[in-house]
């Protein structure tokens, strides 16, 4: 059974998406764009997941300009009635945290960030305009490699924002709406050394 559930990298990417965002419905076109997989690979794995009962399928209809409607494909989403749904969803949520901890450990080897918060895909907060906020100075080439590795682990593109301390304090002072939404929204703070006096 477990081999059937986690049988391929493509299947894991699909499950990760479905179970981290169980309230969302996806067309095949959405999935190919979101995950960077080919349409045949997506369709093959969707068929497998449907047979296992892990996802559901329903026809997506759109108005054709008059009283008639036409199909624009099928919507796919996580099946929250699947017997192992809570356990599988918890597994993917915990995997996000483990990958973020691996990223944090690597990040602290190349810089000393003042602040690091995860939001967006890490906290199931799709309204967020970024997935990761970092405050501090760093070597961009090394940081971009860490982001690339994290994206590979998660099978998802990560939107990130980097601010130096001066820019962070200025934006906070003028109530910048972008920063305000991050700081007041759903987030996971991994590092917070802002506003702390140096002991040096």
Share of the chain above pLDDT 70, in %: 88
Higher pLDDT, 154 or 38: 38
Are 104 and 173 spatial neighbours (Cβ–Cβ below 8 Å)? no
Instruction: For residues 59 and 3, give the distance between their C-alpha atoms in angstroms, rounded to a whole number.
Output: 29
Q: What is the mean pLDDT of residues 117-129?
A: 82
The yes-or-no verdict on residue 165 having pLDDT over 90 is yes
pLDDT at 42: 94
DSSP per-residue codes, 156-200: S---EEEE-HHHHHHHHHTT-HHHHHHHHSS-EEEEE-TTPPP--
Task: Count Cα neighbours of 136 within 13 Å in the Cβ-side half-sphere.
Answer: 22
DSSP 3-state of 23: coil
Q: What is the mean pLDDT of residues 173-180?
A: 94
Q: How confident is the model at residue 140 (pLDDT cuts 50, 70, 90)?
A: confident
Nearest to 11, CA basis, from 2, 101, 75 = 2
Whole-number CA gyration radius for the chain = 20
- Number of H helices and E strands in the chain, helices first, is 8, 6
The yes-or-no verdict on residue 49 having pLDDT over 80 is yes
The yes-or-no verdict on residue 189 having pLDDT over 70 is yes
Instruction: For residues 55 and 78, give the distance between their C-alpha atoms in angstroms, rounded to a whole number.
Output: 4
Name residue 70's beta-bridge partners. 62
The yes-or-no verdict on residue 3 having pLDDT over 90 is no
Residue with structure tokens 């996802």?
55
pLDDT tens readout for residues 62-121:
665 555 555 567 999 999 999 988 888 878 877 777 777 888 888 888 888 999 998 887
Are 13 and 34 spatial neighbours (Cβ–Cβ below 8 Å)? no
pLDDT at 63: 60
Share of the chain above pLDDT 90, in %: 40
Instruction: For residues 55 and 172, give the distance between their C-alpha atoms in angstroms, rounded to a whole number.
Output: 42
């Amino acid at each position: 059974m477990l081999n059937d559930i986690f049988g391929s990298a493509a299947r894991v990417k699909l499950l990760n998406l479905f179970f981290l965002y169980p309230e969302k419905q996806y067309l095949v076109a959405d999935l190919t764009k979101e995950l960077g997989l080919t349409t045949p690979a997506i369709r093959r794995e969707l068929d497998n997941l449907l047979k296992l009962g892990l996802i559901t399928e329903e026809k997506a209809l759109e108005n054709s300009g008059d009283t008639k409607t036409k199909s624009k494909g099928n919507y796919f989403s996580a099946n929250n009635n699947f017997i192992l749904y809570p356990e599988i969803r918890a597994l993917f949520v915990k995997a996000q945290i483990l990958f973020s901890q691996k990223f944090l450990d690597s990040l602290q080897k190349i810089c000393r960030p003042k602040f690091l918060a995860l939001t967006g895909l890490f906290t199931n907060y799709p309204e967020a305009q970024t997935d990761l906020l970092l405050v501090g100075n760093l070597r961009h080439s090394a940081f971009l490699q860490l982001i690339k590795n994290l994206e590979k682990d998660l099978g998802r593109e990560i939107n990130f924002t980097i601010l130096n301390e001066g820019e962070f304090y200025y934006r906070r002072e003028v109530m910048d709406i972008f920063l305000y939404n991050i700081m007041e929204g759903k987030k996971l703070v991994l590092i917070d050394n802002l506003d702390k006096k140096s002991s040096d």
